[in-house]
Structures are given as C-alpha cells and as structure tokens.
Amino acid sequence: MHNAIINFTELLARVENDRELLRDLLLIFKGEFPGHLQALRDAVDSLDGDRVTAEAHTLKGMLANLAATSAADAAARLELLGQNRETSKFQDACSSFENVSKDLLLQLDRCMAEVGG
C-alpha cells in the first residue's frame, strides 16, 4: 500500500531492515521537509533562480534518500528550471511538486505507523 510514492521495500533495504533507524529518518524528514518546501515556494514566488536551485537540490536529496523517486524527479525538474532560469515555468512545476508532496506526507504517516513511530 505504500508503493505509491515512497518505495517502502527499497527504503527498508536501504536501512538494512533497521526499523529504529528508519523511524529516525522519517522523523527527520517530517521535521525538515515543511521548512524546505516553504523555502522553495518563497523562492518560486520571488523568481529567485539560485534559491530555487538550492532548495530543489536539497529536497531532491532528501526524497531520494526516502526512496521517493517520483517526488525526487519532480524536485530535480525544479532544480533544472532554476539552473536554466526558466522562471516562467517555476509556478507550474512547483504546484506539481506540492501536489506530489501532499500525497507523500500522507504516505509518510502510514510508514511511521508501520515502523512504530
């Protein structure tokens, strides 16, 4: 049921089935993600290519660690747009990313429950 955005099987393998470590990682993600998402939104709204690139890069890394490939790809697209200063495409790309993120956060809660968080 968790395969929609987060590949839970891959994630468990990545932490060598260490559920305690997984719980720690999920907690870190849950604590850090909203701040970075907001920072990305602010950068997009102010059409700041450098900040879009930096925030999208950070989010991409976090999502890749979480085995959330589609969400990481969406962040990667924003990073590329930021690098290329394609400011006209920022809003759409960011909205897509925010939509993916909503689903991701819902799934994250289910993952937390599964690992006893």
Partner 1 sequence: MKILIADDEMMSRKLLQKTLERAGYEVTVVENGRQAAEQLCVPDGPRLALLDWVMPELDGPGVCREVRKTNVQSYVYMVLLTSKESKEDVVAGLESGADDYLTKPFDREELKARLRTGLRILSLEDRLIEAREEMRFQATHDGLTALWNRGVIVDLLGRELARSRREHVSTAILMCDLDHFKSVNDTYGHVTGDDVLKETAKRLLASVRSYDFVGRYGGEEFLVVLNNCKPAFAFARAQEICKAIAQKPMPSSSGPVPITMSLGLLLSQEWGLRPVEELLHEADVALYAAKVAGRNCVKLASPNVSLTAPELQEHDHVRMRR
Residues found near partner 1 in the complex (CB under 8 A): 14-16, 18, 21, 24-25, 28-29, 32, 54, 57-58, 60-62, 64-67, 76
- Of residues 27 and 91, the one with the C-beta less far from partner 1: 27
- Of residues 73 and 86, the one with the C-beta less far from partner 1: 73
Measured N-to-C along each axis, helices 19-45 and 90-114 cross at an angle, to the nearest 10 degrees, of: 160
- Of residues 18 and 91, the one with the C-beta less far from partner 1: 18
CB burial of 17-32 (b: ≥16 within 10 Å; e: otherwise) equals eeeeebbebbeebeee
Q: What is the distance between the alpha carbons of residues 28 and 50, in angstroms, rounded to a whole number?
A: 25
User: From the CB of 21, what's the least distance to partner 1, in Å?
Assistant: 5
